[in-house]
Structure 1
Amino acid sequence: MIDELSVVVHDGQGPPLLLVHGMLASRAQWLLNLPAFSTFATPVTVELWGHHLSPSPSDPDAYKPATYSRIFETIRRNLGVDEWFVGGCSLGAALTMRYSLEYPNRVLGQFLTNSSSAFADEDTCRTWRESSSGSYARIIQGGMKAVNRIAVHPRHAKRLPEEVKQALLVDAESHSVEGIAATMRWTSPFASVRANLAQLKVPSMLLCGSFERRFRPLRAYAKTAMPSLVVHDLPAGHAVNMEAADTFNVLVDTFVSRLAPRSAHVS
């Protein structure tokens, strides 16, 4: 199963940087970031189960956040490095943050973006869990038409640069109905790391899309729960790495360059 997850190690000039996209996105989410990232890191893009080139395992355990952590750790070992950087957007941020909690000695630093999945409180998570079986059934029954109606599908995005939006839409045609339904059933409702934020000791940076009003209370909570968290507010919505790519790229460059040991390169 681990070997089947879609992983691409891109050319780069620095330490490995794991990049995990959000729900209904793909590695195309990083289209406007990879050229810049490659000048100071070696980007490693991963696609979630059921998304674009990754298959859709039938085992529900494959989709659980703890399984993703184990997969990410296997990827690191296969790269032949002791430490790396990680970064995630939205649901991807929840997964990379969990990895940082479970393998703190392997993470040089992490960046994250607006992520309701990561910071959801217990009442919200309970609501998600209670509705997840119904959501799963509706997606399975409705097929790709139901997937296309999901609010976070890139076809509904209004601020994305056209180049990256079109790339995401092309990749979205390859999404698996079963994999997307299983992600909604087994990944998202269990992804929150809110209860463990005080245990996150790795250097962390939140690149926050300030236009997303619903995330503002979670941003405030994150800063309180993680006093050392570095927060940058960017003029963008939820998809901050795409909507404010130039500024985003500079901030990640500065973050990685400050923390990277000179020898942390992929062999």
Structure 2
Amino acid sequence: MTMTLVQGTHEITVDGVRQVFHVAGAGPVCLVHSGGPGIEWRYLRLPALEEHLTMVYLEPIGTGSSGRLDDPRDYRIDTYARFVHGVVEHLDVPSVFLLGHSHGGFVVQRYALDHPGRVAGAILYSTSPVTGEEFWNDAMARIAAFPERLPHRPAAAEIPAAFQRALAAQDDEAYTTSLREILPAYFADYWTREQDLEPLRAALRAWIDPMRGEEPAPFDVRGELRSLVVPVLIISGVHDFFGGTRWARLAQELIPGSRLAVLEESGHMGHLEQPEEFTRVIAGFAVAGADVSAGRTAR
């Protein structure tokens, strides 16, 4: 069933805190949660998908025009998921597709596990079912090896040191500056499309999440995913420094009936590196899921 939502920017209150989101496109509803945590949503604007889906882009709590939490310890995955639920409830549709990128993928997994009846399908994009020491050691090893992977790009040699500066950032300005410095690490080869991507880089903004995406215990839903009953599409780029396809393949093994789409020429930003393939696999997944949902409703 196709729902009609009012296009444009919207603001609601969840637990007394402002939550802003943007609606664009037509078709089944797909709520989008960007990554970081703390990165402004616009880098994940998906105009091509708006031709197939009604895209609902969150400004995650603590970023952009959305409100800030009084207690920095509340920036937890379950908190982000609670704000997602507030928007889903406000939209008043039977179910929604969810697209979570990177840290947003953690949020989507948590939400789909807690509220499967509200999820038409989950799209886990450049994410993982687990973090912790092994996850981060793997990512840091890939960052250290980044200059070796692109020896013909002199600027690649600067990425490992810039990444350490990003990890050490203590305020929003420093974090934003560092994120712009390390942006090439998120691509298979940023410099092949540097002219097109520089405006994105210049406009990128970020806000410090005091928890830095981690919590007292690392994110780990491996023990729960075997019971996940919603349709799941997993998208992963071969050159993603967050493990390549390692963690995506683990998620596929754990989630019954899940589908994995591997982007051979992408890093962490497949929607910008292979946009046609990215759009095609998501549109196909959503159309199939919407047909199944409509059939259930008809019965």
Where is the helix percentage greater, Structure 1 or Structure 2? 1
Q: 1:67 aligns with which of 72, 79, 99?
A: 79
Q: 1:28 aligns with which of 42, 51, 71?
A: 42
**Deviation for aligned residue 1:13:** 1.9
Asked if 1:37 is matched to 2:52, the reply is no
Cα offsets for 1:107-153 (capped at 9, x unmatched): 0101112214x332x554899xxxxxxx999533x662255335995
- Following the alignment from structure 1 to structure 2, what is the Cα–Cα distance between the partners of residues 104 and 38? 24
Q: 2:258 aligns with which of 229, 240, 243?
A: 229
Q: Note if contact 2:99-2:123 (Cα within 8 Å) is conserved in structure 1.
A: yes
Cα offsets for 1:13-48 (capped at 9, x unmatched): 2121011111153222233x2x22222211000122
**Deviation for aligned residue 1:66:** 1.1
User: Match for residue 204 of structure 1?
Assistant: 232
**Deviation for aligned residue 1:204:** 0.3
TM-score of the aligned structures, taking structure 2 as reference length: 0.70
Q: 1:254 aligns with which of 269, 275, 284?
A: 284
User: Match for residue 19 of structure 1?
Assistant: 32
**Deviation for aligned residue 1:191:** 3.7
The DSSP-based 3-state class of the residue aligned with 1:88 is strand
User: Match for residue 130 of structure 1?
Assistant: none
Give the letter aligned to residue 62 of structure 2: G
Asked if 1:82 is matched to 2:111, the reply is no
- Flag the 1:30–1:238 CA change in 2: closer, same or farther, 3 A: same
TM-score of the aligned structures, taking structure 1 as reference length: 0.78
- Following the alignment from structure 2 to structure 1, what is the Cα–Cα distance between the partners of residues 72 and 212? 11
The DSSP-based 3-state class of the residue aligned with 1:50 is coil
**Deviation for aligned residue 1:226:** 2.0
User: Match for residue 194 of structure 1?
Assistant: 222
Q: Note if contact 1:62-1:68 (Cα within 8 Å) is conserved in structure 2.
A: no
The DSSP-based 3-state class of the residue aligned with 2:212 is helix
Q: Note if contact 1:20-1:87 (Cα within 8 Å) is conserved in structure 2.
A: yes
Q: Note if contact 1:139-1:146 (Cα within 8 Å) is conserved in structure 2.
A: yes
RCO higher in structure (CA 8 A, sep ≥6): 1
Aligned identity (percent) is: 21
Unaligned stretches of 5+ residues in structure 2: 1-12, 138-164
Q: Note if contact 1:85-1:108 (Cα within 8 Å) is conserved in structure 2.
A: yes
The structure that has the greater radius of gyration is 2
Aligned length: 246
